[in-house]
Structure 1
Amino acid sequence: MLTYEERSKLFTIAEPINGDLTGKAVLSVEQFSRSDLDRFFEEADWMKRIKEQNGSTDILRGKILVNLFYEASTRTDSSFSIAMKRLGGEVHNIVGVQFSSVSKGETLSDTVRVLSGYADLIVLRHHQKGAAAEAALAIHKERTKQGLPNIPLINAGDGVGEHPSQALLDTYTINQKCGGLDDLTVGLVGDLKHGRTVHSLAKLLSLYRNVKLIFVSPESLNMPEELVEELKAKGVQMSVAKDINEVANEADVWYITRVQKERFESEEAYQAVSGSYRVTLDTVASMKPTAIIMHPLPRVGEIDEAVDELPQAVYFEQASNGMYVRMALLSGVLGKW
């Protein structure tokens, strides 16, 4: 999608956060340091207090967010929209691009160049890996040409690439429930090959001391080798298992994702492995009593609904944290920290 020269220019767009989100495109979790996360968690805590005490604030009054979603979404779309409204801003949603000029053949670059002239911020979800970087570069070029300040873009998921805001809310939840992120063993379960949520989460966890990751997936859906090598270079301890029940008592955090049926060549191949990635009451009984169970949602049978009532199940609380985290993200890129 991008030439080598264009990718090189992205280093000036996807720049390190360094304690200040103002005006920056948020494309990858690799922009965040451990100290950035500490500050970010404080801001998310503050946003949670605002919501609980007052319901909303007006710090982003007069600001307009465009949610540009080329893929269907429930939690990411709605939490960004509601977060912006709770901050006093306004939202224009473009969800279902069949109703936009994309259906006429308009390119992503042209779309975001136009929208950057209307809004103060764009949140983009796209089915192609690298689309967020392409869009951020197009905005940067156009704003520079016009002699205008850049409009920040937030990557809300780009194909099998990354999902930064999801990883931020995931680490925020783990930090809350486990009292920190050092010295934890985290099990990542399901489609690790295509799962952008686990890719981003693994990268953020690598910032912490003595973290161990357990990968549980069908062999055909293993964690990408290049990411494994990257984690290894950062000193992350890793192990692999085929069945969650074999290692259920080893993790402090279990992060469950959907084993994507559409990735298998046949129904028989899917059925042969699907049961190994289903969390039941018996599975939980084998886990540490203090372990937590997370899921980015939606789930499609990989966690038995009976598990929902257990204290270990925190996935709905995790989803609620998404709004506070995205409130912090929106206020940060718009210079209100």
Structure 2
Amino acid sequence: MAALKDLISAQQLQKKDVERLLSSAKKMEALLKEKSVSPCNKIVATLFFEPSTRTHSSFAAAAMRLGCHVLPFNVSNSSIAKGESFEDTIRMFDTYADALVLRHPQAGFAQIAADAASHPVVNAGDGGNEHPTQALIDIYTIMSLKKKISGLNVTLAGDLRHARAMRSLFYLLGMFGANITLASPAGLEMETSLVRKVDEKFSPKISFSRSPSKESDILYVCRIQKERFASPAAAEAAQDAFRIDSRFLSGAKKDMAILHPLPKHLEIPPEVDASPHAKYFQQAKYAVPVRMAVLKEILAL
């Protein structure tokens, strides 16, 4: 078995890698239910250069559930404030820890960290570029809900240009043969080069829309960012068109599942949370076993 050293991009994964990680995540889910943990005597550093609730906490929980120690990092109290370079910060934590989990606001910094470190680096989100572990969580969730991905009608809806989770998930959905609809406002479409790459590599059915589909098996939603529009009126119109509320759900496919990487805001109002369509909290729960599987592999536990 060729284990991963780093996990920087969904695009570095082969289908067999994803299947291996999902199989391991299933075992981790069972271990969590049994509350069975063996000490691993490894240290995982969580280097988050921007705010995070779920990703940071679930990586920390995953490490602790594996019996590892977690070494935290607070950028506001670090020597970054004194002018220390990003690379030197990575090199220092590389001497302290056995694996580095990195979140950074700028695209490409996960790869820079991997180049600077001798220990494994996991990309926990780098700007608008990628979020590979979120995509693994999403694939695991869809498999758990629908028992397959090939042939499913999956709509990715919202700001597809800037949503890193959508970019990583789009690649894996293509790998597993989903029928993918990319629904976004004008100007916020999925990057053309990525669409071309997925099409050429996997040849999935890809279609485009200006509104979310009520006939999807999976409706994956991300927020519309008002700051991306030239006027408040244009932003509000786009947000209204992509709001998944009780009125939208009244005509939706009966077994459609709604997913969201969270945090959600105006795009899914609280009234939807109690709907049988809402699966995003179940999705978030899978973060721990999936990230346990990733850490287990890169740490060779």
CA RMSD of aligned residues (A): 1.2
For 1:132, the equivalent position in structure 2 comes to: 110
- Which of residues 27, 46, 69 is equivalent to 2:27? 46
Q: Please tell me the residue identity of whatever aligns with 1:248.
A: K
What is the correspondence of 1:67-216 to structure 2 with a 5 Å cutoff? 67-95=46-74, 97-139=75-117, 150-209=118-177, 211-216=178-183
Q: What is the CA deviation profile of residues 227-261 of structure 1, one whole-angstrom value per residue up to 9, with x for unaligned ones?
A: 111122131221111122xx312x11000001011
For 2:12, the equivalent position in structure 1 comes to: 31
Asked if the contact 2:222–2:261 (Cα under 8 Å) also holds between the matched residues in 1, the reply is: yes
1:138, CA displacement in angstroms?
1.1
For 2:238, the equivalent position in structure 1 comes to: 273
Whole-angstrom distance in 1 between the partners of 2:64 and 2:155: 35
Asked if the contact 2:157–2:182 (Cα under 8 Å) also holds between the matched residues in 1, the reply is: yes
Asked if the contact 1:19–1:39 (Cα under 8 Å) also holds between the matched residues in 2, the reply is: no
Q: What is the CA deviation profile of residues 73-127 of structure 1, one whole-angstrom value per residue up to 9, with x for unaligned ones?
A: 00000000011111111111114x1211111121111110111001111000001
Q: Please tell me the residue identity of whatever aligns with 2:21.
A: F
For 2:255, the equivalent position in structure 1 comes to: 290
1:266, CA displacement in angstroms?
2.4
Count of residues in Structure 1 that have an aligned counterpart in Structure 2 = 300
Q: What is the CA deviation profile of residues 110-163 of structure 1, one whole-angstrom value per residue up to 9, with x for unaligned ones?
A: 110111001111000001111000111011xxxxxxxxxx31000000011100
Structure 1 gaps, min length 5: 1-17, 140-149
> Moved runs in structure 1, 4+ residues, more than 4 A?
none
Q: Secondary structure at the match of 2:101?
A: strand
Normalised by the length of structure 1, the TM-score is 0.86
Whole-angstrom distance in 2 between the partners of 1:214 and 1:273: 18
Whole-angstrom distance in 2 between the partners of 1:236 and 1:19: 27
1:19, CA displacement in angstroms?
4.4
Asked if the contact 2:157–2:211 (Cα under 8 Å) also holds between the matched residues in 1, the reply is: no
Q: Please tell me the residue identity of whatever aligns with 2:138.
A: D
- Which of residues 44, 61, 84 is equivalent to 1:65? 44
Whole-angstrom distance in 2 between the partners of 1:316 and 1:19: 33
The answer to whether structure 1 residue 255 and structure 2 residue 229 are counterparts is: no
Q: What is the CA deviation profile of residues 180-206 of structure 1, one whole-angstrom value per residue up to 9, with x for unaligned ones?
A: 111111100111000000000000111
Asked if the contact 2:104–2:127 (Cα under 8 Å) also holds between the matched residues in 1, the reply is: yes
Q: Give percent identity, aligned residues only.
A: 39
For 2:190, the equivalent position in structure 1 comes to: 223
Asked if the contact 2:156–2:180 (Cα under 8 Å) also holds between the matched residues in 1, the reply is: yes
What is the correspondence of 1:2-21 to structure 2 with a 5 Å cutoff? 19-21=2-4
Q: Secondary structure at the match of 2:50?
A: coil
Normalised by the length of structure 2, the TM-score is 0.96
Q: Please tell me the residue identity of whatever aligns with 2:38.
A: D
Q: What is the CA deviation profile of residues 57-83 of structure 1, one whole-angstrom value per residue up to 9, with x for unaligned ones?
A: 1242x1111100011000000000011
Q: What is the CA deviation profile of residues 37-58 of structure 1, one whole-angstrom value per residue up to 9, with x for unaligned ones?
A: 222111111111111112x412
Q: Secondary structure at the match of 1:220?
A: coil
Q: Secondary structure at the match of 2:102?
A: strand
For 1:9, the equivalent position in structure 2 comes to: none
More deviation, 130-139/276-285 = 276-285
The answer to whether structure 1 residue 303 and structure 2 residue 282 are counterparts is: no
For 2:295, the equivalent position in structure 1 comes to: 330
Q: What is the CA deviation profile of residues 262-310 of structure 1, one whole-angstrom value per residue up to 9, with x for unaligned ones?
A: 2222212211211011001221232221111000000111112121112
Q: Please tell me the residue identity of whatever aligns with 1:301.
A: L
Whole-angstrom distance in 2 between the partners of 1:86 and 1:230: 37
Structure 2 gaps, min length 5: none
Q: Secondary structure at the match of 2:16?
A: helix
1:190/1:103 Cα in 2 relative to 1: closer, same or farther (>3 Å)? Answer: same
